[in-house]
């Protein structure tokens, strides 16, 4: 089964014994839960489009491991064309779902772990790379959705993992066995964790001597013994629980998902371990995964931005303001910002290069520039969309008021916009803008643009590290005809006098 369908994906989730809590209660059927199902539908789109001949070139690839056709979300990038197609695929899915489709973190973790394990084995004579290759072949053969899990709760951000008052605030190894390890801790903000068949765990930061038990990477089934999840709240999430909810949901079919994933003394067998105490490689793994994931935002957030720009333009049409010069200019500005993000995603892909393991790495500096822009531009696109939509976006009555025998006609009368546009259509587009900028889809656009793949400061640290300021200084000195050697000689001669 190299390529699953959406229905097969849904069936596979039903077979899992995933333990997830929401509002303090264990969810008995997470696949059909009205709050969770939209996020499952978004992942389902990654399966549906892989079977559409129109998108086959973007959505599928030939595995370098098996030679078989696989979903691109399970693929190892073999050249810069693969890297560019990844960005284009993510933009397409953003356009189709208008939210986070959650499968990027697994793809990005595959490529980071693949190249890093190769170099660990070279340095230490371990067998992590072979372990991972066999694991990825299993993932590809079954077209699994894998949650790449990196972010630990972290506790006191000023202390190293091994210095925390509570040692479990970073996921750690608590027991070494002949046949594997036992881990304890948690991963926070985990995108698509409940919808995934597997979790691929990575360290959250560079490690140093003393942090060996925290330098760990492994794969584990989502329903493994000792794992449970606590579902994260999103704004307006309980609207999905309202009877016959439709218009008020905005984006009814699709949504994002985040959870706290708890590991309560979970056993990991040796053949699923990819890092076990080699602290000097934790930073490499983090840096590579972060680079790939920051590249991703130049695709997925652009696709969602396309929908938001379109929604703002439709709102202007329905409000009767489409011809206003300032509205036209705002739509131009939104498009300019959105396409700039796409340029960054394509640029860091085009400048990619092969790793020692053979898969392709993006240009890390440009990937960090891409994500730094993503922490800013979607906020301005959102602001302009809210400006164009108008205040009714957040003050309109509920769908039940519109359906009420007495109140409905009044709502229809006073919330009418352009004569030939049904009032309900106007309400629907405004609810979509609200959903994307303030509601449950905001996790896949607004706030995630800030904190997903690392906070803004994380990118600035990498930009400072990779910006090669010393080289730029030398360029300037050469143009300015500054000969430092002669300056040093004159200073030495003056000192002798």
Q: Is the pLDDT assigned to residue 278 strictly greater than 70?
A: yes
Contact in structure between 59 and 49 (CB atoms under 8 Å): yes
Q: Quick one: tokens of 144?
A: 């699994």
Nearest to 13, CA basis, from 218, 237, 191, 222: 222
Pairwise CA distance, residues 234 & 256, whole Å? 9
Q: How confident is the model at residue 485 (pLDDT cuts 50, 70, 90)?
A: confident
Pairwise CA distance, residues 247 & 244, whole Å? 9
Q: What is the pLDDT of residues 333-374, one digit of tens each?
A: 999 999 999 999 999 999 999 999 999 999 999 999 999 999
Pairwise CA distance, residues 144 & 257, whole Å? 17
Pairwise CA distance, residues 320 & 228, whole Å? 50
Q: What is the pLDDT of residues 439-475, one digit of tens each?
A: 877 777 988 899 888 889 999 999 999 999 999 999 9
Q: If you average pLDDT over residues 220-246, what whole number do you get?
A: 96
Q: Is the pLDDT assigned to residue 493 strictly greater than 80?
A: no
Pairwise CA distance, residues 365 & 459, whole Å? 9
> What's the confidence (pLDDT) of residue 486?
73
Pairwise CA distance, residues 42 & 49, whole Å? 11
Q: Which fold has domain 286-470?
A: Butyryl-CoA Dehydrogenase, subunit A; domain 3 (1.20.140)
> What's the confidence (pLDDT) of residue 1?
59
> What's the confidence (pLDDT) of residue 497?
67
Q: What is the pLDDT of residues 114-138, one digit of tens each?
A: 999 999 999 999 999 999 999 999 9
> Could you state, in order of their start, the residue ranges of all structural domains in the chain?
286-470
Q: Answer with the residue of higher pLDDT: 383 or 442.
A: 383
DSSP bridge pairs for 20: 229
Is 99 a known ligand-binding residue? no
> What's the confidence (pLDDT) of residue 78?
98
Contact in structure between 20 and 13 (CB atoms under 8 Å): no
Local structure of residue 195 (DSSP, 8 states)? T
Q: Is the pLDDT assigned to residue 496 strictly greater than 90?
A: no
> What's the confidence (pLDDT) of residue 491?
73
> What's the confidence (pLDDT) of residue 179?
98
Catalytic residues: 100, 104, 191, 258, 293, 297, 300, 448
Q: Is the pLDDT assigned to residue 424 strictly greater than 80?
A: yes
Q: If you average pLDDT over residues 185-213, what whole number do you get?
A: 97
Q: In what order do the strands lie in the sheet with 180-191?
A: 25-26, 20-22, 227-231, 258-269, 180-191, 172-177
Q: What is the pLDDT of residues 43-91, one digit of tens each?
A: 999 999 999 999 999 999 999 999 999 999 999 999 999 999 999 999 9
Q: Is the pLDDT assigned to residue 25 strictly greater than 90?
A: yes
Q: If you average pLDDT over residues 180-189, what whole number do you get?
A: 98
Instruction: Kindly give, in sequence order, each residue whose CB lies less than 8 Å from that of residue 103, ignoring residues fewer than 6 positions away.
Output: 43, 46, 73, 145, 192
Pairwise CA distance, residues 59 & 396, whole Å? 39
DSSP bridge pairs for 263: 185, 227
């Amino acid at each position: 089964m190299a390529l699953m369908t959406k229905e097969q994906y849904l069936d596979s989730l039903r077979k899992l014994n995933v333990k997830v809590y929401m509002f303090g209660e264990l969810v008995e059927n997470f696949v059909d839960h009205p709050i969770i199902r939209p996020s499952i539908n978004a992942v389902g789109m990654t399966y549906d489009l892989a079977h559409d001949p129109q998108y086959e070139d973007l959505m599928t690839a030939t595995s370098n491991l098996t030679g078989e056709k696989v979903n691109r979300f399970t693929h190892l990038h073999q050249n810069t064309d693969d890297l560019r197609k990844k960005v284009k695929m993510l933009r397409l899915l953003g356009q189709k779902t208008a939210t986070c489709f959650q499968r990027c973190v697994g793809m990005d973790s595959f490529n980071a772990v693949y190249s890093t394990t190769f170099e660990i084995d070279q340095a230490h004579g371990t067998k992590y790379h072979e372990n991972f290759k066999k694991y990825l072949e299993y993932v590809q053969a079954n077209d699994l959705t894998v949650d790449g899990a990196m972010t630990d709760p972290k506790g006191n951000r000023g202390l190293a993992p091994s210095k925390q008052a509570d040692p479990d605030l970073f996921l750690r190894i608590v027991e070494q066995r002949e046949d594997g390890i036992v881990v304890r801790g948690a991963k926070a903000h985990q995108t698509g964790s409940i919808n995934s068949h597997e979790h691929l765990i990575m360290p959250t930061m560079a490690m140093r001597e003393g942090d060996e038990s925290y330098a760990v990477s492994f794969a584990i089934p989502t329903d493994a013994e000792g794992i449970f999840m606590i579902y994260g709240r999103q704004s307006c999430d309980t609207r999905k629980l309202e009877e016959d909810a439709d218009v008020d949901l905005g984006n009814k079919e699709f949504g994002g998902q985040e959870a706290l994933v708890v590991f309560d003394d979970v056993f990991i067998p040796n053949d699923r371990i990819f890092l076990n105490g080699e602290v000097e490689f934790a930073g490499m793994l983090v840096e590579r995964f972060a680079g790939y994931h920051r590249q991703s935002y130049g695709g997925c957030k652009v696709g969602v931005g396309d929908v938001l720009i379109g929604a703002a333009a439709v709102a202007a049409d329905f409000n009767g303001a489409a011809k206003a010069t300032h509205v036209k200019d705002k739509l131009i500005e939104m498009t300019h910002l959105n396409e700039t993000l796409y340029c960054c995603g394509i640029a860091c892909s085009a400048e990619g290069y092969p790793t020692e393991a053979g898969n392709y790495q993006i240009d890390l500096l440009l990937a960090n520039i891409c994500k730094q822009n993503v922490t800013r531009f979607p906020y301005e696109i959102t602001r302009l969309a809210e400006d164009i939509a108008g205040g009714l976006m957040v003050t309109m009555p509920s769908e039940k008021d519109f359906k009420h025998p007495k109140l409905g006609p009044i709502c229809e009368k006073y919330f009418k916009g352009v004569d030939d546009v049904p009032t309900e259509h106007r309400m629907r587009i405004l609810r979509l803008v609200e959903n994307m900028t303030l509601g449950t889809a905001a996790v896949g656009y607004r706030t995630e643009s800030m904190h997903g793949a690392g906070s803004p400061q994380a990118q600035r640290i990498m930009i400072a590290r990779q910006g090669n300021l010393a080289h730029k200084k030398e360029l300037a000195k050469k143009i300015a005809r500054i000969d430092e050697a002669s300056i040093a000689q004159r200073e030495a001669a003056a000192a002798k006098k």
